[in-house]
Amino acid sequence: NAGVTQTPKFRILKIGQSMTLQCTQDMNHNYMYWYRQDPGMGLKLIYYSVGAGITDKGEVPNGYNVSRSTTEDFPLRLELAAPSQTSVYFCASSYSGGGPEAFFGQGTRLTVV
């Protein structure tokens, strides 16, 4: 019963590098989300998806891209890493029949130096 799985758990990037944060869920949820968490700021929504092939911007999408080719996977892409993207990233999912109750992954701690 894996739930939402994120990889990697930790990563250090140099400025200008790119990377993909992986997220997969095995609950057959149609909704998926990416949040970033910064100290004292709570969680901010980066992107979300309501189903395969459909994505949309959240509050803080600049510098990120997403895709949703399958129900299970929702990778987050950072193209040109900047120090402002140092954060903890959480992937989450929910199903349309249960309201917006979100199930979260364990997070990815990213540091950009």
Partner 1 sequence: AQSVTQPDIHITVSEGASLELRCNYSYGATPYLFWYVQSPGQGLQLLLKYFSGDTLVQGIKGFEAEFKRSQSSFNLRKPSVHWSDAAEYFCAVGPPGDYKLSFGAGTTVTVRA
Residues that bind partner 1 (CB under 8 A): 4, 31, 33, 35, 40-45, 48, 50, 58, 90, 92, 94, 96, 99-107
CB closer to partner 1, 17 vs 104: 104
What's the closest the beta carbon of residue 44 comes to partner 1, in angstroms? 8
Tell me the closest approach of the beta carbon of residue 113 to partner 1, in angstroms.
Answer: 21
14/32 Cα distance (integer angstroms): 28
Q: Which is nearer to partner 1, 65 or 104 (CB)?
A: 104
112/16 Cα distance (integer angstroms):
9
Measure the CA–CA gap between 13 and 98, rounded to whole angstroms: 37
Q: Nearest approach, Cβ of 107 to partner 1 (angstroms)?
A: 5
Residue placing its CB nearer to partner 1 in the complex, 16 or 100: 100
Nearer to partner 1, 17 or 60 (CB): 60
Picking from 59, 58, 60, 49, the residue whose alpha carbon sits closest to that of residue 82 is: 60
Q: Within the chain, what is the greatest distance between any pair of CA atoms? A: 42
Distance, CA of 94 to CA of 31 (rounded, Å): 5
